[in-house]
Amino acid sequence: MSTMIAPTRETVRAAERVAAARRRVSLAETLSQTLAMAWRAVKKMRRNPEQFFDVALQPILFTAMFAFIFGGAIAGDVQSYLPLMIPGILAQTVLTTCMATGTQLREDLEKGVFDRFKSLPISRIAPLAGPMVADLLRYTTAATLTFGMGVVMGYRPGGGVGGVLAAILLAIITGWSLAWVFTWVGTIARSAQAVQGISMMIMFPLTFLSNAFVPVETLPDWLAAFVRINPVSHLVTAARDLANNAVVSGEAAWTLVACLVVIAIFAPLSVRSYKRHI
Amino acid sequence: MSITELGRIASDPPPDRSTGLAVHAEGLVKAFGGHRAVDGIDLDVHPGEIFGVLGPNGAGKTTTLRMLATLLKIDAGRAEIFGVDVAGNPHMIRQLVGVTGQYASVDENLTASENLWLFGRLQGIAAPRARRIAAELLGQFGLEEAADRPIAQFSGGMRRRLDLAASLITRPPLIFLDEPTTGLDPRTRGQMWDTIRGLVADGCTVLLTTQYLDEADQLADRVAVIDHGRKVAEGTPDELKTAVGNSALQLLLAEPDEVPVAVEIVRRVLGSEPVLSPERGRLNVALDQADLAADVLIALRTAGVSISSVSVAKPSLDEVFLALTGHETDHDDQNGTEENR
């Protein structure tokens, strides 16, 4: 380490550095920092492949399980249940995937490296947004596997490739938007376990109190009322229209509006509580 | 000698105030709940010096550093770094200060070179240059062989070096080191000291915290002693040592039970109060002149108090700390406390 004193090094001049220091982070800097953080998150995923277990196994397991258990009871047989169910599973897996965003953020926040991120002259939102960009990979994997499993089981989406891709895209957008809710939970909860618990409490009502697995008409009125306003129901209906009929319905627009509302509320909340969270 | 008196002697105004300070803090306060972890600390650090903040665990050293580094909100008081207001311009401060924490703040999931590359990229350095700087720093810190290994396999010393390397990517003019050598073996510690001296040779200013008194003595140009969130003294290591007396007599009695007798004898011979160390049977006596040690020894011999070891030395910062705060550096309030205040 004696080379530290090597004479070739240029002297550090404080006054020049003060003069060159910028007061704010620009938007371009924020974007490049977010991408750098996304790169970190992808590296992390590659080194901890178990993070992909829920993304990979859940679509396969749930598709098979739900089809055989509920298929006969709800739609008469498995084949006719698939067009109804696959978009439902799509919504569910994407939601489960974005739930992990909060848990992982919480784990990350407890690590020493977040201290360094906070001490660097970088945008405060980059450490939050970076992993979420990387999560797009996980949503894509989960959504593709769900449809893949459906096709293996005999699902023939009427909307064709274009319809299915559009449904997947809509699910990814929704997942990314809803992830801000769990990111916020990640910044306010006391431990990763608490994040997990709270997220479950949000996730289960959202997925099961929707039209994902059963027709709304079979529900009691008061429940049906909630199911109709649940954003997950909009996503499921929109995805069904896209995948089965290649129709872009008003439900897709409602889904996007819900996404924007969620981002507008939870992105600023997350950054605020992340800043406080030191 | 009282604490305030000593504090005044030690903190004579430093010579060149006009050139602008690297750190200027006034009345910094941080409260956690009802507990004031930092309770009105003033600090002036001059450009190009190594300034040591010395104190036991829980004294408020880390909290002070974290406030100055924008990692904690300043509850009261104000701070400037190279004339830039810390609370008002946190983004500028983060460009001027490199922070190395007590626990290595590097990413366990990445390799050493990936870590440095990421921190470089985040600070707007183009990818190829970030790669070059990472390789350079790894070389300087003797980590090139471990460059592509995951951090999980790193020893404590290697992590510390990588952590410091990560703080130096943009070569910030001010570097905060929070207990840079805690938990390191003596050899690695010596290397870290050399590195820190090298930083100053490069033109940087270093503010470090330590609970090792010899570290402050070895490295720091000036030292602030902190206890219970307050500054109890400030000065060069020599000023602090002189303030406690020119030399110190350390006695280890053969019979710990005879401590009260020995204390009485020291009072009678020197008219001053010995400081009891938590180690049973050990007394530290401040002396104006080393010669006086003989008087104490003769008196002890006459009284039949037998001694198992004796030494006369320039006081260590340990004794300075004991004299200033009335307790040992491990924060255990021992029997000598009240009398000493």
Residue B62 touches partner A, C-beta closer than 8 Å: no
Domain hosting B219: range is 3-109+150-241
Instruction: Say if B119 falls within a structural domain.
Output: no
Domain shared by B220 and B102, yes or no: yes
End-to-end CA distance of chain B: 8
Per-residue confidence (pLDDT) for residue A204, from 0 to 100: 86
Q: What is the least distance, in Å, from the CA of B151 to any CA of chain A?
A: 12
Number of domains making up chain B: 2
Is the ipTM, as predicted for this complex, more than 0.85? no
Asked if residue A278 lies in contact with residue A193, where contact means CB atoms within 8 angstroms, the answer is no
CATH label of the domain that carries residue B84: 3.40.50.300
Closest CB from B108, B124, B173 relative to A14: B173
**CATH code for the domain in which residue B268 is found:** 3.30.70.920
The pLDDT value given to residue B329:
54
B106 contacts chain A (CB < 8 A): yes
Domain-located, residue B57: yes
CA distance B85 to B74: 11
Question: Do B95 and A278 count as a contact with CB atoms less than 8 A apart?
Answer: no
Q: How far is B231 from chain A (nearest CA, A)?
A: 25
Task: Please answer yes or no on whether B94 and A116 come within 8 Å at the CB atom.
Answer: no
A47 vs B contacts (CB less than 8 Å)? 109, 150
Q: Do B277 and B263 share a structural domain? A: yes
Residues contacting residue B293 through CB under 8 Å, at least 6 positions apart: B247, B249, B287, B310, B312
Report which residue type is found at A56: A
Q: What is the dihedral of CA B144, B146, B150, B154, to 10 degrees?
A: -120
Strands laid side by side in the B174-178 sheet: B97-100, B174-178, B205-210, B50-54, B222-227, B230-235
Residue of B nearest to A19 (CA): B92
Rounded to whole angstroms, how far apart are CA atoms A19 and A16? 5
Say which of A14, A48, A119 has its CB closest to residue B71.
A119
Contact state of A12 with B94 under an 8 Å Cβ cutoff: no
Q: Are residues B165 and B304 in the same domain?
A: no
CB A65 within 8 A of CB A160: no
Contact A276, A190 (CB under 8 A): no
pTM confidence score: 0.79
Assess B107–A contact: CB distance below 8 Å, yes or no.
yes
Among all residues of chain B, which has the CA nearest to that of A39?
B118
From A107, A104, A177, A86, select the one nearest A139 (Cα to Cα). A177
Q: What are the respective helix, strand and coil percentages of chain B, to the nearest 5?
A: 40, 25, 35
Chain A residues closer than 8 Å to B112 by CB:
none
Given a cut of 50, whether residue A77 has pLDDT beyond it is yes
**Min Cα separation B90/chain A (Å):** 8
Chain A residues touching residue B197 (CB < 8 angstroms) = 5
Placement of tokens 């809803």 in the chain:
A178
Distance of CA B57 to the CA centre of its chain: 11
- Residues B230, B249 share a domain: no
Q: CB within 8 A of B28, min separation 6: which ones? A: B38, B40, B41, B42, B43, B64, B67, B68, B74, B76, B77, B78, B79
Is there a contact between A4 and B95 if contact means CB atoms under 8 Å apart? no
Closest CA to A93 of A151, A131, A145, A45: A145
Alpha-carbon distance B188 to nearest alpha carbon in chain A (angstroms): 10
In a domain, B223, yes or no: yes
Distance of CA A272 to the CA centre of its chain: 20
B45 contacts B51 by C-beta, under 8 angstroms: yes
Q: Do A119 and B106 make contact, defined as CB atoms within 8 angstroms?
A: no
Encode pLDDT of B172-218 as tens digits: 999 999 998 888 888 888 888 999 999 999 999 999 999 888 888 88
With residues binned 3-state (H G I as helix, E B as strand, rest as coil), the percentages for chain A, rounded to 5, are 80, 0, 20
Judgement on whether residues B237 and B252 belong to the same structural domain of the protein = no
Residue B286 lies in a domain: yes
Confirm whether B322 is domain-assigned.
no
Whether B15 and B85 map to the same domain: the answer is yes
Summarised one tens digit per residue, pLDDT across range A224-244 is: 998 888 888 999 999 999 999
Best residue of A9, A109, A118 to probe chain B, by most B CBs closer than 10 Å: A118
What string of pLDDT tens digits covers the 341 residues of chain B?
A: 444 444 444 444 444 443 489 999 999 999 998 889 999 999 999 999 999 999 888 889 999 999 999 999 999 999 999 999 999 999 999 999 999 987 768 898 899 999 999 999 999 999 999 999 999 999 988 898 999 998 888 888 888 889 999 999 999 999 999 998 888 888 888 888 999 999 999 999 999 999 888 888 889 999 999 988 999 889 998 888 777 667 788 889 988 888 889 999 988 888 888 888 777 888 888 887 778 888 899 999 998 888 888 888 877 767 777 777 766 555 443 333 333 33
Residue B140 and residue B122: Cα distance in Å, rounded? 22
> What is the DSSP annotation of B46-95?
-TT-EEEEE--TTSSHHHHHHHHTTSS---EEEEEETTEETTT-HHHHHH
Q: Are residues B182 and B299 in the same domain?
A: no
Q: What is the distance between the alpha carbons of residues A36 and A42, in angstroms, rounded to a whole number?
A: 10
Which residues have a Cβ under 8 Å from the Cβ of B205 and sit 6 or more positions away?
A14, B22, B23, B45, B46, B47, B48, B49, B50, B51, B173, B174, B175
In a domain, B269, yes or no: yes
Contact A118 B71 (CB under 8 A): yes
* Residue from the list A1, A5, A22 with its beta carbon closest to the beta carbon of B201: A5
CB contacts of A112 in chain B (<8 Å) are: 101, 103-106
CB contact under 8 A, A4 and B107: no
